[in-house]
Structure 1
Amino acid sequence: MDLQELVDKFHTMTCIVSIEKRNDGKARTVRIEAGNEDYVRSMEKVDDNGNVIFKEKFVPGRRYEHYMKKELNFENFCYECAIKKKPIHAYIRPEYYDFSINMNMMPLNIEDPEKAYCTFSQELSFEENLDEMSNISSKTSSSVLQTCIKLRGTKDLHKTMDEVIEDIRNICGASYCCVLLTDFNENTWSVFSDSLKPGLNQHSIRDLKHVDFTEYARSWIKQLRGRYCLMIANSRDLELIRETNPKWYDLLVKEKIETVALLPLQYTGTLLGFILVTNFDTSNTVNIKETLELSSFFIASEIANYRLLNQLEVLSNQDLLTGLLNRNSMNNKISKFIKGEVSYDSLAVIFADLNGLKPINDSQGHDAGDELLKSAAHLLRDTFIGCDCYRAGGDEFLVIATNQPKEDLEAKVEKLRQDSMIPGKVSFAIGFYYDEHGGKIRRALHEADNNMYEDKKRFYDRFPANRRRRIS
């Protein structure tokens, strides 16, 4: 068959690709055997700076690496289409080009004992085409739509995400699926959700506590090179990982992982983490890739919204200087007590007013005063573990404790009171009230407040230099 004559019949930018037929599991050579005029012209296209986009001019029959960087996904597409005779459609945006590729591949029935062939047609665009990105099979769209509906309707994202990730693992026929979140600024990682097929030797990432996945995640960014998905579908792909990322390769081998799908979770340009799928069904690689790529958009969106709501919750209820709960949170908790929404047997309230803040602010500045407030908050939080600690405002703090032994709380309050008499230590005027029968929160607050002012008076009688100046 005259390959050039065949490819010249295409109106779109098209070439014919061949891939070696091998049975030894080694890498298969992929060649571009022929290209029509539009395809060849596109390969010799120059950018705005006059640079040739591809490495060199087109020569029929050369390995594809002469014209572009080695690309595992492209090799997998060629294998699926030419060897396994599956039509392929994909929409990709390589990192190293400033355009997207809308591609279609069709298997060719050419008798050749050494090679299998397929056509490769492409349309280049410098803006992302949402219509093409959403042009997916009905089977994939149904699966992804179910994912979207589950996530959008949930009130418990963690629980629903567990269901979704298990669904995705089953769709992929995989041994493991995981949503791994990363924060490179804090150098931390966490598993948001994962699903492990029962009865396997493979571990969940949660169990690999000795492994720092932040380091692996940084290497994955380089491995992805801007792609929506990296598919390691066979031993030759795994061999390339051994060459380019040997530490990750060693972990994969140790965990008996032979195939991997890796996708970045990105939202408005921010990398949130990754989806990792291992030991998936290689007979369904194209549909798996399609499902994962589209699902990742919805998963990333929901996680970003979840994080935003958590941040708003923190800002609404946390004092930013000390890290304690703030006055808004305190008022909400007191309101719940008054409405009978809190169940308790015993109730304790501790008012703690920080002594000496104004002289510190006046003599050393407000930065020093802020440090004193933070030290005071840290001391209260460490002393009253398991209790709600609030910064009520200014230099005033409140601790609410339910179902705590009176003797334990009295001992902690007394230690704080004694330490407050030692110059150089954080000093509090303390008001303590305990009702072993529960009682009303308003009465507890009133009694503790009165006791605190009595303690404050004793402190200033002993250290008059720290007395606040009254404004007349």
Structure 2
Amino acid sequence: MDFRQFCNGFGAMTCVISVEDLGDGRYGKIRIVDGNDAYISSIENPAPGVEMLVKKFIPNSEYTNYLTRDLNFEDYSYRAAVERKCLHSYVKPDRMPGVLFNMTFLPVAYEEGNLKYCTYTMEINFEADSKRLSNISTDIATAVLETSLKLRIGKDFKSSMAEVIKDIRELCDAEHCCILLLDHFERKCSVLCESFSDNTDLIPMENYLDDKFYDITETWKDVIAGSNCVIAKNDQDMDVVKERSPIWYESLSAARVKRIVLFPLKFGEELLGYIWAINFDPEKAPKIKETLETTTFILGSEINSYLLMDRLKILSSKDMLTGVMNRNEMNNLIDKIYAEDTNITSVGVIFTDLNGLKTVNDQQGHTAGDNLLKNAARALEEVFNTKNIFRAGGDEFTVILTNINEEKIRQDVEDLSVVSERYGVCFSIGSSFTEDNRNIKDALRIADERMYEDKKHYYELHPDKIR
């Protein structure tokens, strides 16, 4: 068969692909047999941003001569050539930022022994086409719409995401489904939501999130290898995962994971995290891919908004230098404690003032002074929960504890005095206690007065210190 002449009958960039059918769903070499002039030119004279691994087209070469091995490309080629499916996909591969491919795979009624053939036609877009993104089947469109509605109608984002991840797991008929968020600055991972099937032996992801797990997530880019996702649905595919990330493969094997879907969650080009499904129904792989390709666009946008609001909340509630809560949050808590409908009864207040900060600033500079403030905050955090510590002023920290007894306040003050020495800081401390939350303002005043009495005593003992 003259494949070049055959391809020239197509107006768009088109090639013919051969797939070596090994039977039982397995395949061997996948080759680009030949293409029309437009396709060959896309390799030898590519537009900026869509370059292949080589710029020379050689007929009947393995496709990996031109691009990194891509399990999605192999799956589409196999289903079109061997299973005689007509397939379409509109994807944004990671290997080519800002580029989208409109792809069509069609079976060819021609065989040579165990070689089966299909055509691959592509159109390159440099801007997303919303009509093509939404050109999906009715059942998938329904699933995507349900996701959007749950995220929009739900009052609580995390509760809504818990419902969404359960729906995605059920769609995949998977044993486990999870969304993992990445903090690139802290190099940490956190579970946003996850769902398990009944009678699973898998354990929650939190049990795996040690200090080294972020290092494993960095290998997932290599596993996806420039595509937009990875769908490993059998041993042959899992061997690719093993080759690209041995340490992750070992972890998956230890948990008896046989199949996995992994999609990056992005907002623009920013990687927010990943969504995956474990031990899914391989027969549903095409539907899973088509659904998640669209759903991840929505999830990426919603998660980015959630993270942005979370960052804004942190900025409005935390002291950026020390990491403890700021004065605004202290005032909010005081108002809450004072409210008549609160369930808070007893209140303990501890006022601390960092001694010697001005001396350090004057003699060693503000960087040394900032480090002293940070050490003061760490000393307080060793005794108290961060949410109860407030930086009330330049060198003043306040601790407010609720539903506590007076003996515990006294013990905490003693513990702080011991701990602060290890951090090289010295506090003037005043505390007070009330069994009536309505007396919170009196308790604050008394603790403040006692702290200044302690500070006065400190400077009497250290007259050389600058106030």
Same fold, TM-score > 0.5, yes or no: yes
Aligned pair count reads: 464
How do 1:66-77 and structure 2 match up within 5 A? Answer: 66-77=65-76
Q: Is residue 85 from structure 1 mapped to residue 80 from structure 2 by the alignment?
A: no
Pair 1:310–1:67, CA change in 2 (3 A) = closer
- Asked whether the 8 Å contact 1:89–1:103 carries over to 2, the reply is yes
- Asked whether the 8 Å contact 1:81–1:105 carries over to 2, the reply is yes
What amino acid does structure 2 have at the position aligned with 1:134?
S
Pair 1:398–1:286, CA change in 2 (3 A) = same
205-214 or 82-91, larger mean C-alpha shift: 205-214
Q: Which runs of 5+ in 2 are unaligned?
A: none
What amino acid does structure 2 have at the position aligned with 1:72?
L
Q: Which residue of 2 aligns with 1:436?
A: 435
C-alpha displacement of 1:415: 6.1
SS at match of 1:321: coil
Q: Distance in 2 between matches of 1:219 and 1:131?
A: 34
Q: Distance in 1 between matches of 2:280 and 2:132?
A: 26
121-130 or 139-148, larger mean C-alpha shift: 121-130
Q: Distance in 2 between matches of 1:183 and 1:47?
A: 35
Higher Rg of the two aligned structures: 1
**1:421-461 Cα deviation digits (max 9, x unpaired):** x9x96333333222234442122222222333333333333
Q: Is residue 406 from structure 1 mapped to residue 406 from structure 2 by the alignment?
A: yes
- Asked whether the 8 Å contact 1:176–1:204 carries over to 2, the reply is no
133-142 or 164-173, larger mean C-alpha shift: 133-142
Q: Which residue of 1 aligns with 2:365?
A: 365
C-alpha displacement of 1:67: 4.2
C-alpha displacement of 1:77: 0.1
What amino acid does structure 2 have at the position aligned with 1:79?
Y
**1:6-42 Cα deviation digits (max 9, x unpaired):** 5443333323323223225643222334433433443
Q: Distance in 1 between matches of 2:441 and 2:116?
A: 82
C-alpha displacement of 1:256: 2.8
SS at match of 1:441: helix
Q: Identity across aligned pairs (percent)?
A: 38
C-alpha displacement of 1:88: 0.8
How do 1:299-318 and structure 2 match up within 5 A? Answer: 299-318=299-318
Q: Distance in 2 between matches of 1:218 and 1:107?
A: 37
SS at match of 2:18: strand
Pair 1:363–1:38, CA change in 2 (3 A) = closer
Q: Is residue 220 from structure 1 mapped to residue 220 from structure 2 by the alignment?
A: yes
Q: Is residue 188 from structure 1 mapped to residue 188 from structure 2 by the alignment?
A: yes
Q: Distance in 2 between matches of 1:142 and 1:265?
A: 21
Q: Which residue of 2 aligns with 1:449?
A: 448
Q: Distance in 1 between matches of 2:409 and 2:193?
A: 39
C-alpha displacement of 1:386: 8.2
Pair 1:136–1:270, CA change in 2 (3 A) = same
SS at match of 1:309: helix
Q: Distance in 2 between matches of 1:34 and 1:227?
A: 23
Q: Distance in 2 between matches of 1:270 and 1:207?
A: 26
Pair 1:465–1:234, CA change in 2 (3 A) = same
**1:365-387 Cα deviation digits (max 9, x unpaired):** 33333333333333333334588
Q: Distance in 2 between matches of 1:46 and 1:24?
A: 38
Q: Is residue 348 from structure 1 mapped to residue 352 from structure 2 by the alignment?
A: no
C-alpha displacement of 1:119: 2.4
117-126 or 269-278, larger mean C-alpha shift: 117-126
Q: Which runs of 5+ in 1 are unaligned?
A: none
What amino acid does structure 1 have at the position aligned with 2:71?
L
- Asked whether the 8 Å contact 2:389–2:397 carries over to 1, the reply is yes
Pair 1:408–1:125, CA change in 2 (3 A) = closer
Q: Which residue of 1 aligns with 2:154?
A: 154
- Asked whether the 8 Å contact 2:231–2:260 carries over to 1, the reply is yes
SS at match of 1:29: strand
Q: Distance in 2 between matches of 1:25 and 1:106?
A: 19
Q: Which residue of 2 aligns with 1:31?
A: 31
C-alpha displacement of 1:342: 3.3
What amino acid does structure 2 have at the position aligned with 1:383?
V
**1:210-253 Cα deviation digits (max 9, x unpaired):** 79432221111122233221222333222333333333333333
How do 1:9-408 and structure 2 match up within 5 A? Answer: 9-23=9-23, 26-46=26-46, 54-59=54-59, 61-96=60-95, 99-110=99-110, 114-208=114-208, 212-385=212-385, 388-408=388-408
Q: Distance in 1 between matches of 2:222 and 2:402?
A: 52
- Asked whether the 8 Å contact 1:232–1:261 carries over to 2, the reply is yes
- Asked whether the 8 Å contact 1:92–1:102 carries over to 2, the reply is yes
Pair 1:47–1:305, CA change in 2 (3 A) = closer
- Asked whether the 8 Å contact 2:336–2:342 carries over to 1, the reply is yes
TM-score, scaled relative to structure 2 = 0.88
- Asked whether the 8 Å contact 1:267–1:300 carries over to 2, the reply is yes
- Asked whether the 8 Å contact 2:45–2:55 carries over to 1, the reply is no
**1:98-135 Cα deviation digits (max 9, x unpaired):** 75321112234446652333222222234444432332
Q: Distance in 1 between matches of 2:31 and 2:385?
A: 67
C-alpha displacement of 1:95: 4.8
